[in-house]
Amino acid sequence: MKAVVYTQYGSPDVLQLKEVAKPTPTDDEVLIKIEAVSVNRSDWEGLIGKPLYARIGGLLKPRRQVLGSDIAGRVEMVGRNIKRLKPGDEVFGDIMAQMGGFAEYVCVREKPLALKPASMTFEEVAALPQAAVIALQGIRDKGQVQPGQQVLINGAGGGAGTFAVQLAKSYGAEVTGVDNTGKLDFMRSLGADHVIDYTREDFTKNGKQYDLILDLIAHRSVFAYRRALRPTGRYFFVGGSVATLFQILLLGPLIRRTTGKNIRLLAVQPNLNDLVNVTELCEAGKLFPVIDRRFPLHEVPEALRYLGEGSARGKVIITLEQSDQ
């Protein structure tokens, strides 16, 4: 089968399309023929090896040689202990714990896989797992957004941000989206009430305060976030610099005790219920995946470059239904 392989951290140039052995499922795995897989910032971080947490398990060389975590495809074969899925089922899910989605086939346990609703395409469901679940857990579960609250989403024009803006609006919040100059109209089109261009304005220095800040790309000091929160506000670090991450771990509890402002990390827990919830929201027309561009498998390097170098609006999808098969 074809797979996009890398053996060292670096630019998209280190990725190679190769012929590798088609995997065989163990008793506890299913073999998936991949139809679509989305590109996440976590793939980009795994490619370049930055921030440092992207090297967990592989400090000098990547632990996994095939990136790609948000897969959608058909079950081709099942192991002996598989109870829930059968050959022919159309499924999707986040396989971030093992990766391997930038390939024609992958073997995975059945636990992270949900059934694809008939009303959605493989590309649409591939856009959901990581990005929409980050948004769901950040806005609904941890953020507990209420009508009328002020919500700021930093990185609102990217994969998770586009879902977070839609969800926060659906809970009745007044939403501020922060992203680059080229994405301001795009964030408005998703429903953002206010937009901030991060290349021109620092949202922690304009005197405004928020009930919830969902930070998809954090790099400021913890004190800047404290300043931008209302007295009982919540801030969640989803991804960003290691320096900010450590500050939040060390100083977040102290800030909570002394000010009541809640500054924490959001460690996303992939689970089937949330995947089903987001597909139900999509089917009900309350949430929609925004697919910016599609690339065939052999153009995974271009797709990652497009996302990593800052052009993508919403999701970038690798589709295997195109020229690779």
Ligand X SMILES: NC(=O)c1ccc[n+]([C@@H]2O[C@H](COP(=O)([O-])OP(=O)(O)OC[C@H]3O[C@@H](n4cnc5c(N)ncnc54)[C@H](OP(=O)(O)O)[C@@H]3O)[C@@H](O)[C@H]2O)c1
Separation of alpha carbons 317 and 300, rounded Å: 9
Give the shortest CB-298-to-ligand X separation in angstroms. 22
Other beta carbons less than 10 A from residue 84's beta carbon:
13
Q: Is the dihedral of CA 246, 137, 175, 173 positive or negative?
A: negative
Residue whose entry in the numeric block shows the structure tokens 């591939």 = 126
Interface residue with ligand X among 4, 12, 34, 41 (CB under 6 A) is: 41
Q: Among 65, 72, 3, 68, which residue's Cα sits nearest to residue 32?
A: 72
Separation of alpha carbons 94 and 131, rounded Å: 10
Interface residue with ligand X among 149, 150, 154, 279 (CB under 6 A) is: 154
Instruction: Tell whether residue 129 is a contact of ligand X (CB under 6 A).
Output: no
Residues of span 156-185 touching ligand X by CB under 6 A:
157-161, 178-180
Choose between 75 and 160: whose C-beta lies nearer to ligand X: 160
Choose between 84 and 242: whose C-beta lies nearer to ligand X: 242
Interface residue with ligand X among 239, 252, 289, 301 (CB under 6 A) is: 239
Instruction: Tell whether residue 217 is a contact of ligand X (CB under 6 A).
Output: yes
Looking at the DSSP bridge assignments, the partners of residue 107 are 31
Choose between 31 and 196: whose C-beta lies nearer to ligand X: 196
Instruction: Tell whether residue 112 is a contact of ligand X (CB under 6 A).
Output: no
Separation of alpha carbons 85 and 82, rounded Å: 7
Separation of alpha carbons 180 and 313, rounded Å: 10
Interface residue with ligand X among 198, 209, 230, 259 (CB under 6 A) is: 198
Residues near ligand X, by CB under 6 A: 40-42, 45, 130-131, 134, 154-155, 157-161, 178-180, 198, 216-217, 238-239, 266-268, 307, 310, 312
